[in-house]
Structure 1
Amino acid sequence: MSTAQWANLAKWVQSATEGFEVKQFLITIAGVFMGLVLFFILIPIIFVASVAGQSAPVTPSHTVLSLDLREPIRDVPPSSPFAGFSSNVSVVDIVRKLQAAETDSSVKGLFVRASEAGMAPAHAEEIRQALIDFKGTGKFVIVHAQGFEYPTLSNYVAVSGASELWMQGTTDFSATGIVAETLFLGGFMEKFGILPQFEQFKEYKNAVNSYTEKTYNAPHREATTAMLGSIYNAFLAATAYDRKVPVEAMKAALDRAPLSAEQALQAKLVDKIGQPEEAMDAALAKAGGKEKAEFVDLGNYQLPPETGPVIALIGGEGAIITGQRSNDPFADQEGITSDDYAAAIRDATDDDAVKAIVFRVSSPGGSPSASDQIWAAIERAKKAGKPVVVSMGAYAASGGYYVSTGADAILAMPSTITGSIGVFSGKFVINEALNRYTGANIAAIQAGGDYANAFSSGAPFSNSQRTALNAAVTRIYDDFTGKVAAGRKLPLPRVLEIAKGRVWTGNEAKDIGLVDQIGGVRTAILKAKELAKIEAATPVSLRVYPAVEDPLTAFSRAFSSSAQGAQAAGRAATVIGALVGDERLSALLLQASQRGNASMHEPVRVH
């Protein structure tokens, strides 16, 4: 061999062994590092937290609870002990803690910093009701807003029922209505040579319209217009009631927005003008003065020990997916994982102490098979004699409604986005984009039937593949509508009429029989007590499922196996976008890599 050949061979051997050695070296270093973190940092934190948990802090005798709504807000608390280290609380936390504080003589009132942006309409309504209930016990609620400058009513609705609503003098009142915003990428797909192909049931199932259309089609526009009108009317009635003005006067004032702080005061939209510190001083003064009163963050306020019959509270938020929770113990949004939530419902069912189950659902949907697994667990609970009440949060659409439909009772807020009884499945064909921008090409060799290659991103569906896909989606849709008919005790023709993939608000859903009652989690607990034949005035003990993990167990999950194959597929799918230098295309192709199976996901952005 020549010198050059030997040199090339040596380089090859070095490259073949170098990656393995470097990988092993990095794994060893990472293991040592994580061991040190565990020993010197995490274990002391866990120890301190466990000691602190054994003796809850005493609430000062003149407490003003404080709540900051300016940060994004969850629907339910996370199940990981490490997720969400901030003091921010969830909607369910706000409701439960304010209810407990109603009878706490140490708590004199509540001070709230109003949201400066929008929030989910149903979240705004449930927070508003919690504030009104708290105020109804004779305690004060003082709210300060550094303007309502985001032109949505939701942040105003959340606090419009306050005892005193302050606004900073140099800001504007721009809250005027409700907007649904959709990014349509049909033209974008054409430009880059990406072909979206989907079967969707049925005409109102608009989840994929953003990929296939250039603007709203007629059914999409009809359903969205009706939904926005329902939310706006509910908001208008609520704010007019809270501010003690006629609905017509409220609408006229909102239609004139943006208003100055002085104009908002004159229109009775706010009560006082001043700086945040002035409003805080006013709250302390009402609680006994600065010398006595103290602020306590609502996130740090401890719920008192509960006694009485046990009701299970199962909180689910996010997309519905198959499998188990993430191995990342710091993940804040885990989704509704079918194995975990089916197990939680089964655990509550098998616990003799549990008299009823309240399932809090806030989900835009997801996998049909995952939804069916959770639905089956609820059916098992009912057969075992455990009443199940669903409390819908911000939304319970598509799969979120699927898991709810068999419950003994379904409750929603007036503006909860619900329904969307429908399904879709399809893919993105990206071969033209690959070839156009990189010269790459996807080719496939298959063994077996024609459908084996149906979800290849290299070629469109054949006629037989499209027919087979349509039949598969039809089966899912028929099963979904059948479960709704049985669970809601509605004739199947009526379900088929109100299904079609259409999204409804809570008020609309109640009118057509998809929801039984308007109310939040507090009302749902009362309903569960009624179904379990527990007197309304009887205290109950809420047992949360899935339980917050032991910190060491959660930490150990971080080292277990993860879905590396799926992650690698997603990364590979974005290569074309990176090569072209377009981040938008890269993101779209990542979505394309995740769209293979049938889905009941319903993305809706309302603000």
Structure 2
Amino acid sequence: MKQFFKFMFASMLGVFFSFLLLLVFFFIFLAALFSAGAADETITLSGNTLLVASFNQNIPERTPQSPFPGLDLPGVRNVTGLNDILANIRKAESDKNIKGIYLDLSYVPEGLATIEEIRNALQKFRESGKFILAYGEVYSQTAYYLASVANKIYLHPEGALDFSGLSTDVVFFKGLLEKLEIEPQVIRVGAYKSAVEPFTEEQMSEASREQMNSYLQDLYQHFLASVATSRGISRDSLHLIADSLLVRQPSDALAYRMIDGLKYKDQVIAELKKMTGTPKENDMETVTMGAYTRAAGESSSKQGIPERIAVIYATGEIVSGEGSDFLIGSERLSRAIREARRDDEIEAIVLRVNSPGGSALASDVIWREMSLAKEEKPVVVSMGNTAASGGYYISCAAHKIVAQPNTLTGSIGVFAVIPNMQGFFNHKLGLTFDGVKTGAYSDLGTITRPLTPGEKAIVQEYINDVYADFTGHVAKGRGMTLPEVDSVARGRVWSGIGAVEAGLVDTLGGIRDALEIAAGMAGTENYRVIEYPSQKGPLEELLNNMGGNIRTWMVKQELGENYRYFETLKQLPRLSGVQALLPFEIEIR
């Protein structure tokens, strides 16, 4: 009888949870139906409206399809993409209803190259004669870099401004792997190919330290020069302020002219009302960056223009297969390039790359499609935060390459890591393995034993061949000799500034500059942008990715800033194929 009730209650519980799950999906479906119409509805603004911009999430290259516009849920990416942010700022320049822009910048987690794109767009907006006001309770250096373009910068009286110079670090797992008796067997090409160092070393090699110092110095000098121009403070003075940590209290930021005032939020709102001509007793007319996407503007006025330029987004790590909007699948991206190449109405192609690289094979598949496209129409690459290793591999065939000064690129090198987990299995888990095989190399790549010298030699030979192909593609695409390529390759990373000097990038600029270059090459002045690959519908994207996104969200909530270390360690099991991947997770602070 006890067993009967046990199974009965278990069955009832199962039915209850199944019903609950169906109910959740039912409401998701209803919400998607209602919100789809709302998302497409054009909004109308009244005069003297304030455009409110807050960049408190990582900014994707283009706005994801979301079934819940304006609603943040775990597993649902509800954020305005860089494409819409730039289009909205450009649209606001000539929108008679937009009086100015308010930047709420207490938290800005995005990379510097993306911030550079937004900052440059804001600078042009300010040149139109409209105002920008920035406010923050705490300014990180990235947030302050963006705020420095504003007409006025205000800080909370009890807040903080970080201005101490840039830094980055790498976490090393060698000690952990030794304790677990896991041996990362490394085969690589290039003295600078330090992607494997977190698993094999306890600190940076001299080559790695050299490249990172050079990269960071390029970013820092550009950072200082840009802030100096915006704030009217000499670069030397800014360096002294940072190097001596002279801004320790909010009053210090005001004394050194880093900000224009210390104000509470209500005081900022009062000033904004004056600037927009809003009576004190009334609420201001405001519109968020996301909502402003639905306001009529330049894009809607270009619908009838026949000339088109394709912008193809390559975002995330490079893998074989379909991938997703945040993972570059060789099949999906190649198909998008092929569609744009074969479409007679597409005048030129701009490939927008934001990728640390990945599979060398998948990169080569995409490179081939880029080469074919180049033979038929102008092809320009626009680099975002990162276009390194495989990200550079898929870029090098283009006619022109455009990067931001703070883009991380290069890293022309390949490697493979085959973990030997014999000690872990034998001594930690008590597992042993045995088997039979028909040939000496039938089990090449197994993780249950170490590689033999002969096997290492075979893998090294393959790695060398892939490196030769990679550098050969770069030499052909960039019009360089193999020795010239090798001198700037070997896995070394470059800033956009350094990459121009090394001959790996043609010019500095953003995606708008890349579009203008492509239009010039195609001989067209008036064009509209067509985006590829096509995005999945919001409900399909939600159902396909919700499980993984929720798991990622939960881990991020627990680990916070330490999540990147978890991500690095997670890479080890999937590095067994030949990789053209960025040396390590680089976060600039």
Normalised to the residue count of structure 2, the TM-score between the two structures is 0.87
Residue 389 of structure 1 deviates from its aligned partner by 1.4
**1:477 positional shift:** 0.5
Alpha-carbon shift at residue 121 of structure 1 (Å): 2.0
Compared CA separation, residues 443 and 300, structure 1 to 2 (3 A): farther
1:525 aligns with 2:515: yes
Which of 323, 326, 329 is matched with 1:325 structurally? Answer: 323
**Could you tell me which residue of structure 2 aligns to residue 51 of structure 1?**
37
**RMSD between aligned residues:** 3.0
User: In the alignment, what sits opposite 1:207?
Assistant: 195
User: Could you tell me which residue of structure 2 aligns to residue 225 of structure 1?
Assistant: 213
- The answer for the alignment partner of 1:577 in structure 2 is none
Supply the AA of the counterpart residue of 1:321. V
1:77-105 residue CA offsets vs partner (Å, 9 max, x unmatched):
33676797565323333222101111111
**Partners of 1:34 and 1:353 in 2: how far apart?**
46
- Secondary structure of 1:361 counterpart: strand
Query: What is the number of residues matched between the two proteins?
Result: 552
Select the residue among 354, 371, 384 that pairs with 2:363.
Answer: 371
Residue 261 (1) aligns with residue 250 (2): yes
The secondary structure found in structure 1 opposite 2:448 is: coil
Residues 441 and 369 of structure 1: CA distance in aligned 2, closer, same or farther (over 3 Å) = same
> Is 1:600 matched with 2:580?
yes
Structure-2 change in CA distance of 1:224 and 1:588 (3 Å): closer
Deviations 1:222-263 (A, max 9, x none): 111111111111111111111111111111122232421111
How do 1:165-564 residues align onto structure 2 when only pairs under 5 Å count? 165-257=153-245, 258-290=247-279, 291=282, 293-302=284-293, 304=297, 305-307=300-302, 308=305, 309-325=307-323, 334-385=326-377, 387-450=378-441, 452-535=442-525, 538=526, 540-551=527-538, 554=541
Q: Which amino acid aligns with 2:200?
A: T
8 Å contact 1:201–1:501 — kept in the other structure?
A: yes
Structure 1 counterpart of 2:269, one-letter code: M
The superposition leaves residues 522-579 of structure 1 with CA deviations (integer Å, 9 ceiling, x where unpaired) of: 11111121111112xx3x32111122323465467679xx9xxxx9xxxxxxxxxxxx
How far residue 402 of structure 1 moved from its aligned partner, in angstroms, is 0.6
Partner of 2:358, secondary structure, is: coil
Task: Tell me which moved more, 586-595 or 56-65.
Answer: 586-595
Q: Distance in 1 between matches of 2:219 and 2:158?
A: 30
CA distance in 2, matches of 1:503, 1:528: 26
**Alpha-carbon distance in structure 1 between the residues aligned to 2:316 and 2:567:** 20
Q: Contact 1:119/1:155 (CA < 8 Å) preserved in 2?
A: no
Question: Which one-letter code corresponds to 2:53 in the other structure?
Answer: L
Q: 1:325: how far off?
A: 3.1
Instruction: Tell me by how many angstroms 1:75 deviates.
Output: 3.4
Q: Give me the whole-angstrom Cα distance separating, in 1, the residues matched to 2:580 and 2:121.
A: 32
- Quote the Cα distance in structure 1 between the aligned partners of 2:534 and 2:227: 37
Q: Is 1:109–1:283's contact at 8 Å kept on the other side of the alignment?
A: no
| CA displacement at 1:606 relative to structure 2 | 2.7
Mean CA deviation greater in 400-409 or 304-313: 304-313
Give structure 1 stretches of 5+ with no counterpart.
1-10, 12-17, 327-332, 568-582
1:294-345 Cα distance to aligned partner (Å, 9 max, x none)? 111101112630412211122222111111135xxxxxx7311111111111
Would you say 1:110 and 2:101 are equivalent positions?
Answer: yes
**Structure 1 residues 440 and 460 mapped into 2: Cα distance closer, same or farther (>3 Å)?**
same
- TM-aligned CA distance change 1:140 to 1:364, over 3 Å: same
Letter of the 2:576 partner, please give it: G
Q: Answer whether contact 1:87 1:299 (CA < 8 A) is retained.
A: no
Query: Residue 141 of structure 1: CA displacement?
Result: 0.7
1:162 to 150, 166, 171: 150
State the partner residue of 1:41. Answer: 27
Q: Is the 8 A contact 2:564 2:585 kept in 1?
A: no
* SS of residue matched to 2:195: coil
- 1:158 counterpart SS class: helix
SS of alignment partner, residue 89 of structure 1: coil
Amino acid at match of 1:315: Y
Contact 1:80 1:548 in 2 (8 A): no
Report what 2:63 is aligned to: 77
- Mapped to 2, the partners of 1:173 and 1:589 lie a distance apart of 33
Q: Superposition pairs for residues 81-100 of structure 1, below 5 Å?
A: 85=76, 88-100=79-91
CA distance in 1, matches of 2:344, 2:301: 18
Could you tell me how far apart the structure 2 residues matched to 1:87 and 1:42 are?
Answer: 15
Residues 306 and 542 of structure 1 are in contact (CA less than 8 Å); yes or no, is this contact kept in structure 2?
no
CA contact (8 A) 1:96 1:522 kept: no
Q: Which residue of 2 aligns with 1:5?
A: none
Alpha-carbon distance in structure 2 between the residues aligned to 1:133 and 1:498: 35
Opposite residue 249 of structure 2, the aligned amino acid is: S
Shift in Å at residue 180 of structure 1? 1.5
SS of the aligned residue for 2:401 comes to strand
Instruction: State whether residues 568 and 585 of structure 2, in contact with CA within 8 Å, keep that contact through their aligned partners in structure 1.
Output: no
Q: Which amino acid in the other structure matches residue 68 of structure 1?
A: S
| Cα deviation 1:373-395 (Å, max 9, x = unaligned) | 2222222222222x111111111
The answer as to whether partners of 1:443 and 1:458 remain within 8 angstroms in 2 is: no
User: In structure 2, what residue type is equivalent to 1:268?
Assistant: R
On the 8 A contact 2:64/2:77 being kept in 1, the answer is no
Query: 1:486 deviation in Å?
Result: 0.8
Percentage of pairs with the same residue = 30
1:244 and 1:216 map into 2 onto residues whose CA distance is 38
Q: Which runs of 5+ in 2 are unaligned?
A: 552-562
Contact 1:75/1:394 (8 A) holds in 2 = no
Contact residue 284 and residue 294 of structure 1 kept, 8 A: no
In terms of mean alpha carbon deviation, does 541-550 or 288-297 score higher? Answer: 288-297
CA shift at 1:119, angstroms? 3.3
Q: Distance in 2 between matches of 1:557 and 1:171?
A: 42
Whether the 8 Å contact between 1:131 and 1:159 is mirrored in structure 2 is no
Task: Give the C-alpha shift of residue 115 in structure 1.
Answer: 4.4
Paired position in structure 2 for 1:571 = none
2:126 to 116, 120, 135: 135
What is the Cα deviation at residue 465 of structure 1? 0.5
| Structure 2 counterpart of 1:605, one-letter code | I
Cα distance between partner residues in 2 of 1:556 and 1:187: 40
